Structure 1
Amino acid sequence: MITKTPPEVLSPSDLAYMSTLNERDRRRFLATKAADFKAQGFSYRKVSKRMGTSTHTLQNGRQELLTGDGPGEGRIRRAGAGRKSVLPQHPEWTQAVVQIIEPHTAGLPQDENVVWISLSVTQIMGELFAMGYDISRYFVRQILDSLGLRERSFYKDLPMKEVKNRDEQFQRISSIREEAEAVGLPIISIDTKKKEMIGNFKRDGKALCNGPLKSLDHDFSTFSDGQIVPHGIYDVTRNEGYMTLGISHDTSKFVCDNIARVWREHLKEQYPNARTLVILCDGGGSNSSSHRIVKQDFMDLANKLGIRLLMVHYPPYCSKFNPIEHRLFSQITRSWSGAPLMSLQNAADRAAMTTTKKGLKVHVHINSKTYDIKRPIVESYQKRLARQVIFAPELGQWNYLVKPAN
């Protein structure tokens, strides 16, 4: 071993320096030292024996120094070099692991190639020990890896159900966005984020602090100081977000009021020649593609703003594809993580600080109005609908144009 090298070969300072080097640099350092001793008449074999390393290592180090060739960028040894795995010498280990995990294997009925096991690595090690195999955690993980089994988390990706014309609607959304961008129309993505409780409630994430942070041990709404209804509007083209923090209900009237304010205070100035606003949204809740009250409120909004609203709904169970979800809401979640939302203003201030490397900017407004959840449909609804709303010939339930009455 290097630590047993006589001081006349490698001094204590040499050993200290070598302890800071990786394998490649140690190899080259030893080759440099060996060259000095070889010049004094010592053979590589004698020098390597005195150094406690192999002749092969010294020769490799010398060759790398002379030619400038190395194991490759970012590597400390050539591919395939180093100690060989012992697993091929013990196929019975793999057989034992397969025997242990087989009764504990589950899978997806939709895909026979996807399986998972209900045993932990520690439990597998215990079963192996009971069978007479004393195998380390490292080798058990290697065996599992060779079987294609690695630790993974389930992630939400599968739609709740198959939706007819789902793919066709995604193609239409893509076409609408391309056409709108080509002529400079504003495209906004809207949605309402999960409601948040105001008060000293635990939140995911961490915060820089000089002491332990404590919150209430139960998240009961009866102990909150109110709730926040976070509604977002995301300008897809300009990468700019507009968050409205409400305190009442998430209704279509609430949504339309937020759009009207953002249009008048921000978007109208950014798109002075626009006569049509493209709105991307999901198909449920306050953005429902089927509820009459939603269309009634959007007809009122078109009348109020004096522009056309091109409504484009994502298919059911596909709201996560709405740009606002991953472009704005994910960043707001990050800004709100780590510490409780102690007040509405505190939540607004932290949301306003949201930014990204791509230049996301967020404007925040507090909407203190109260919104009723049971409002009647006006008697003239059907006449207004026929006059103001033009449904697309295909997939009209998800694509329609709302015009001003005048």
Structure 2
Amino acid sequence: MPPEPQTANPILSESQIADLKLAASKMSGSTRRAFQADMSRKYCAGNARQTERCFGWGREGVQLGLEEQRSGMVCVGAQAAYCGQKRWEETQPEAAAALLALAEAHSQQDPTFRSSIAYTRLTAAEAIRQLQAMGFSGGQVPAPSTMARILNRNGYRLRKVEKAKPQKKIPETDAIFANIQANDGQFADGAVKRLSMDCKATVNIGDYSRGGKTRGDNKAADHEMGCKEKYIPFGVLDEDSGQVYLTFGSSSKTSDFIVDSLCRVWEQMPSADKDACQCIQIKADNGPESSGIRTQFLKRMVEFANHTGKTVHLLYYPPYHSKYNPIERCWGILEQHWNGTQLKDAETLLEWAKTMTWKGINPMVEFSHKVYEKGVTLSKKAMEAVEARLERNAALPKWDILIRPVFG
């Protein structure tokens, strides 16, 4: 038989050395170092350099294992020290709440509703700067790389910039966003109830494809022409509690439908919230039915302020930027929730909407079968009385309106 090949250690064969190296690779930390030290003392006279030549183990690790056995003290590595460490959101809940409020204020929904992910204009560096401006410092504010991970895992991601897409802005766009940010959440004691409202595109009822996937019946009508049953979704998001209120109207999208739905939402809110509230702050896009110059809408909002006994503060988003309105996030979730479902009747529509969740909370859903007349406007004389009740921002008169209640 041919002689066994020579190894770095005359006591062990190549196969035995391979077995010991395999055994060491299955261990980690101090357990691995202790095993390597034992093998070094048994086969290499406790010499770290010779152990490295024999087994291929790093001599620094072998030497550390030998020192640990000699002193009886075990070194704790960085991995072990940080094992099970709580996330920044858990160790700094106040700063985390402030960060998520910032990210929410700077976020937009994907306009195609193809994803429920929110895109934010808020960079990690800007988030750190704003947290520091709020008084958070030292260990309360994470490093930029950590901040980026925190924003990502909470669903706020930077969006890729598209070069070929022109940006549509009006001269007041930046000032409008700055005004919303300045007014948003300035009181944290419940004195201001922050609401976001908007109407979504009309939903056709029938055997129509919604572009998604299903495990059930996957055959839909080849077109949606001639649809007779349609519903207009109107939503209100309570930004403070996370509760969503959805109303599906069977008539027309008008100012009266919007304000009537808003009144029902107010009646459904907890009494404690309404009692503590002094001002109802409403964010909306400047759509034709609810804009800052729509006469019937402004008349109805004056009536709403009188009805609730609360000051109403209307804050509008600029044109082409309604996707930043917080309620748009909820529309994205709803669209993804029932995507692929054939909404064959009103009951199916209602039940699917009820099972949607926003921040772990199911929405409060109802139908409105009231018939609304289109094109209702006020005369100039009637509008003068309404206008006298409006306190318009001097710099942004169409985008920031305050309405104080009149009693009796």
Q: Quote the offset at 1:263 in angstroms.
A: 1.3
Matched, 1:195 2:202: yes
Residue in structure 2 matching 1:264, options 262, 267, 275 = 267
Q: 1:225 & 1:7 partners in 2: Cα distance?
A: 80
Q: Is the 8 A contact 2:190 2:273 kept in 1?
A: no
Structure 1, unaligned runs of 5 or more:
75-151
Matched, 1:253 2:253: no
Q: Quote the offset at 1:298 in angstroms.
A: 2.6
Partner of residue 348, structure 1: 350
Matched, 1:166 2:184: no
With CA pairs under 8 Å and 6+ residues apart, which has the higher RCO, 1 or 2?
2
Matched, 1:222 2:237: no
Partner of residue 402, structure 2: 401
Q: 1:60 & 1:224 partners in 2: Cα distance?
A: 76
Letter in 1 for 2:192: L
- The 3-state SS of whatever aligns with 2:394 is coil
Matched, 1:175 2:182: yes
Q: Quote the offset at 1:188 in angstroms.
A: 1.2
Q: Quote the offset at 1:193 in angstroms.
A: 2.5
Q: 2:248 & 2:183 partners in 1: Cα distance?
A: 30
Matching of residues 278-297 of structure 1 within 5 Å: 278-297=281-300
Letter in 2 for 1:168: A
Q: Is the 8 A contact 1:159 1:318 kept in 2?
A: no
Partner of residue 371, structure 1: 372
Count of residues in Structure 1 that have an aligned counterpart in Structure 2:
311
Matching of residues 295-310 of structure 1 within 5 Å: 295-305=298-308, 307-310=310-313
Q: What is the CA deviation profile of residues 208-246 of structure 1, one whole-angstrom value per residue up to 9, with x for unaligned ones?
A: xxxx44434666323757333221111122222111122
Distance 1:45 1:389, change over 3 A: closer
State which drifts further: 300-309 or 255-264.
300-309
Q: 1:310 & 1:370 partners in 2: Cα distance?
A: 28
Q: Is the 8 A contact 2:210 2:341 kept in 1?
A: yes
Letter in 2 for 1:401: L
Q: 1:309 & 1:41 partners in 2: Cα distance?
A: 83
Q: Quote the offset at 1:275 in angstroms.
A: 5.5
Partner of residue 59, structure 1: 59
Q: 1:268 & 1:41 partners in 2: Cα distance?
A: 79
Partner of residue 392, structure 2: 391
Q: 2:397 & 2:233 partners in 1: Cα distance?
A: 29
Q: 1:338 & 1:305 partners in 2: Cα distance?
A: 40
Q: Quote the offset at 1:258 in angstroms.
A: 0.5
Q: 2:337 & 2:78 partners in 1: Cα distance?
A: 41
Q: What is the CA deviation profile of residues 181-225 of structure 1, one whole-angstrom value per residue up to 9, with x for unaligned ones?
A: 457132211112233333444446667xxxx44434666323757
- The 3-state SS of whatever aligns with 1:312 is strand
Letter in 2 for 1:160: Q
Q: Is the 8 A contact 2:199 2:234 kept in 1?
A: yes
Q: 2:162 & 2:292 partners in 1: Cα distance?
A: 24
Q: 1:403 & 1:41 partners in 2: Cα distance?
A: 88
Q: Is the 8 A contact 2:234 2:248 kept in 1?
A: yes
TM-score after normalising by structure 2: 0.60
Q: What is the CA deviation profile of residues 138-192 of structure 1, one whole-angstrom value per residue up to 9, with x for unaligned ones?
A: xxxxxxxxxxxxxx97468988323223333333323333445457132211112
Q: Quote the offset at 1:281 in angstroms.
A: 0.9
Q: 1:304 & 1:396 partners in 2: Cα distance?
A: 24
Matching of residues 123-162 of structure 1 within 5 Å: 154=160, 160-162=167-169
Q: 1:404 & 1:318 partners in 2: Cα distance?
A: 30
Q: Is the 8 A contact 1:296 1:381 kept in 2?
A: no
Partner of residue 191, structure 2: 184
- The 3-state SS of whatever aligns with 1:73 is helix
Q: Quote the offset at 1:60 in angstroms.
A: 5.3
TM-score after normalising by structure 1: 0.60
Q: 1:343 & 1:156 partners in 2: Cα distance?
A: 40
Letter in 1 for 2:39: D
Distance 1:268 1:289, change over 3 A: farther
Partner of residue 324, structure 2: 321
Letter in 1 for 2:204: M
- The 3-state SS of whatever aligns with 1:238 is coil
Letter in 1 for 2:388: R
Q: 2:354 & 2:253 partners in 1: Cα distance?
A: 21
- The 3-state SS of whatever aligns with 2:357 is coil
Matched, 1:235 2:238: yes
Partner of residue 332, structure 1: 334
Distance 1:214 1:155, change over 3 A: farther
- The 3-state SS of whatever aligns with 1:62 is helix
Distance 1:168 1:252, change over 3 A: same
Letter in 1 for 2:59: Q
Q: Quote the offset at 1:403 in angstroms.
A: 4.7
Q: 2:209 & 2:161 partners in 1: Cα distance?
A: 24
Structure 2, unaligned runs of 5 or more:
1-12, 69-73, 81-157
Q: Aligned Cα RMSD in Å?
A: 4.3
Q: Is the 8 A contact 1:352 1:363 kept in 2?
A: yes
Q: What is the CA deviation profile of residues 54-94 of structure 1, one whole-angstrom value per residue up to 9, with x for unaligned ones?
A: 4xx353552464566799539xxxxxxxxxxxxxxxxxxxx
Q: 1:27 & 1:214 partners in 2: Cα distance?
A: 58
